[in-house]
Every structure is written in C-alpha cells, then in structure tokens.
Amino acid sequence: MAEIRKILFDADTIAARVKELASLVSEDYAGKELVLVCILKGAAIFTADLMRHITVPATLEFVQAASYGASRTSSRKVQITRNLKKDFEGRHVLLVDTIIDSGATLHALHSLYSGRNAASMNSAVLLDKTCRRIFDVPIAYKGFHIPDEFVVGYGLDSGGQYRNLPYIAALETDTE
C-alpha cells in the first residue's frame, strides 16, 4: 500500500462542510419529496453523514457505478453494476457522490434517469476536481475544489483500500 503524503481535509473540516451542504439541501428542498441516490461504493460515508443533517423528509436509494476499476485514471467508460429499476414519480432526485473527476459517472446516471419522471434531478459532491471535467453535469452542491491529485479516505479508495480513513489525503505517487 502507498504511503499517505498529505492530509487535505481533516475529519472536523469535512464534518463542518457536510453540515453546511446539508443545510443548503434542506432549505432548497423544503416541502418537496427528496430522494438521495448514493453512488456506491465511494459515496457510502458521505451520503450517510449528509443525510443525517438533512432536516426535510428524504428517502435513500443505492446505485453502484465503476469508472476507475483498480487504476488511478478514469477509463471514462462507466459501468453501472447495480441499478435502480424504479420510476421517480414526481420526486426530486439528488445524486450523491464523494468526488467528481471527468464527470462521466454523474453524466451517465443523469442520462440513465432522465426518462424516469423525476420532478428534478441534481447532484451533490464533496470534492470537485474541476480541471479534469469533460462531461457537463448539473451540480448544485459542492464541498471543496481540489487540484488534479489522486485522493483517498472518507469513502474514497485506491485498489479498494483507505476508504475507512476519517480524513481525505493525497497518496505518494510512486506505487500502483
């Protein structure tokens, strides 16, 4: 396993920002039926924390998508390995991912669910690697902008490892 090179966001910093994002979501969706769609596996931890600070009624769904596989560079070919069969029937859908890179994952899910009768569809991400964006997708809630650096922790992995770190960190680049 590679060494942690630098902590970018510690647990307290993440918690404070997640709380702020949840307040914004709660204001914007007041009186609406909100569905959070957690993009597994990376968004499991972010979604769990975000949802616990959301004060409007919200339901939770899970999808699983993979664009990186075991490598650190996005293949940009998104595989949906666990999908949702349901129609959204006038509910407001918020796709939740921990990080957006090329945008391929969120773009694929937006396209996939565009015909499912949602009243609205938007996204929330904790981290945005803006300089890597290829696909344009609506993202109403963003936690932090980060440079083009591979990060792990708080649900994000490298080869399946590091998801349990309570902070977000950059890895040494000399392995994998």
Q: Give φ, ψ of 84 to 5 degrees.
A: -105, 130
Q: Give φ, ψ of 138 to 5 degrees.
A: -70, 125
Q: Which is nearer to Mg ion, 113 or 162 (CB)?
A: 162
Residue (of 98, 119, 121) closest to 110 by Cα position: 121
Interface with ligand IMP includes 35 (CB under 6 A)? Answer: no
Closest approach of ligand IMP to the CB of residue 27, in Å: 26
Interface with ligand IMP includes 151 (CB under 6 A)? Answer: yes
Edge-to-edge order in the sheet of strand 120-128:
79-82, 58-66, 34-40, 92-100, 120-128, 141-145
Closest approach of Mg ion to the CB of residue 49, in Å: 19
Judged by CB under 6 A, which of 104, 124, 126, 165 binds ligand IMP? 104
Q: Which is nearer to ligand IMP, 23 or 173 (CB)?
A: 173
**Residues 6+ away with beta carbon under 8 Å from 27:** none
Judged by CB under 6 A, which of 67, 84, 119, 159 binds ligand IMP? 67
Q: Which is nearer to ligand IMP, 47 or 102 (CB)?
A: 102
Interface with ligand IMP includes 47 (CB under 6 A)? Answer: no
Residues that bind Mg ion (CB under 5 A): 68, 157
Interface with ligand IMP includes 74 (CB under 6 A)? Answer: yes
**Residues 6+ away with beta carbon under 8 Å from 102:** 67, 74, 76, 132, 133, 134, 135
For the annotated catalytic residues, the residue numbers are: 101
Report the b/e string of 98-128 with b at 16+ CB within 10 A: bbbbbbbbbbbbbeebeeeebebbbbbbbbb
Q: Which is nearer to ligand IMP, 55 or 161 (CB)?
A: 161
Q: Give me the residues that bind ligand IMP (CB under 6 A), please.
A: 39, 42, 67-68, 74, 97, 99-105, 150-152, 156
